[in-house]
Chain A
Amino acid sequence: MARESVAEAIGKAADAAAPATPRLPTDRWRATEVAFWLVVVVAFFVFPQHRVLASQILITALFALSLDLILGYAGIVSLGHAAFFGMGAYTAGLLAVHGWGEPITGLFVAAIAGAITGFATSFLVVRGSDLARLMVTLGIGLMLFEAANQLPSITGGADGLSGVSMWKVLGVFSFDLTGTTAYVYSAVVLFLLFVVARRVVASPFGLSLRGVRENVKRMPAIGAPVTKRLIAVYTLSAAMAGVAGGLLAQTTQFVGLDVFGFPRSADLMIMLVLGGAGRLYGGVLGAAVFMVAHHFLSGLNPIYWQFWLGLLLVVVVLFARGGILGALEVLRERRRGAKP
Chain B
Amino acid sequence: MLRNLIGVLFDGVAYGSLLFVISIGLSVTMGLMNFVNLAHGAFAMLGGYACVVLMTHAGVPFLATLPVAFVVAAVAGIVLERTLYQRLYKASHLDQVMFSIGLVFMAVAALTYFFGPSQQPVRMPDFLRGQVQVLGIGLGAYRLFLIAVVAVIMVVLHLLLVRTRFGAQVRASVDNAVASAGLGINVNRVFGVTFALGSGLAGLGGGLGIDVLGLDPTFPLKYMVYFLLVVAIGGAGTIKGGLVAAMILGIADVAGKYYVPEIGSFIIYFLMVVLMIAFPAGLYGRKA
| Chain A interfacial positions (CB closer than 8 Å to B) | 1, 3, 71, 77, 79, 124, 127-132, 134-136, 138-140, 142-143, 146-147, 149-150, 262, 266, 269-270, 273, 277, 303-304, 306-307, 309-314, 316-318, 321
Contacts and interface: CB of A to CB of B under 8 A. Distances in A.
A14 B103 CA distance: 33
Contacts of B273: 124, 136, 139-140, 143
A160 to B, nearest CB: 18
Contact of A1 (B94, B280, B281): B94
Contacts of B28: none
B288 A129 contact: yes
Given A142-B269, A146-B265, A146-B269, A306 B36 contact: no
Q: Which 10 residue pairs across A and B have the least CB separation, nearest first?
A: A313-B102, A310-B105, A307-B109, A310-B106, A128-B280, A130-B93, A314-B102, A317-B99, A139-B273, A306-B109
**Which secondary structure characterizes the binding site on chain A?**
helix
A306 B105 contact: yes
Given A136-B277, A146-B265, A150-B264, A131 B232 contact: yes
Contacts of A135: 228-229, 232, 272, 276
A77 B276 contact: no
Contacts of B281: 128-129, 132
28 contacts: A1-B93, A71-B94, A131-B231, A132-B281, A134-B36, A134-B93, A135-B228, A135-B229, A135-B232, A138-B225, A139-B272, A142-B225, A146-B263, A146-B264, A146-B269, A150-B264, A150-B266, A277-B94, A307-B109, A309-B105, A310-B102, A310-B103, A310-B104, A310-B105, A310-B109, A314-B99, A317-B91, A318-B84
Contacts of B210: none
Contacts, number: 133
B73 interface: no
Contacts of A307: 105-106, 109-110, 113
Contacts of A139: 225, 269-270, 272-273, 276
Nearest to B288: A129
A252 B44 CA distance: 40
Nearest to B273: A139
Contacts of B18: none
Contacts of A146: 263-266, 269
Contact of B106 (A77, A311, A321): A311
A307 B113 CA distance: 10
B172 interface: no
Interface string B64-106: 0000000000000000000010011001111101110111111
How big is chain B's contact interface, by range?
A: 35 or more
B188 interface: no
B108 interface: yes
Of B95, B97, B98, B113, which is in contact with the most chain A CB atoms at under 10 Å from its CB?
A: B98
Contact of B112 (A129, A140, A303, A318): A303
Contacts of A129: 280-281, 288
Contact of A303 (B36, B109, B231, B276): B109
Interface string B104-131: 1111111011000000000000000000
Nearest to A123: B277
A312 B101 CA distance: 11
Interface string B210-249: 0000000000010001001101100010000000000000
B95 A321 contact: yes
A127 B95 contact: no
A139 B87 CA distance: 29
A150 B98 contact: no
Contacts of B277: 124, 127, 136
Contact of A128 (B91, B105, B269, B276): B276
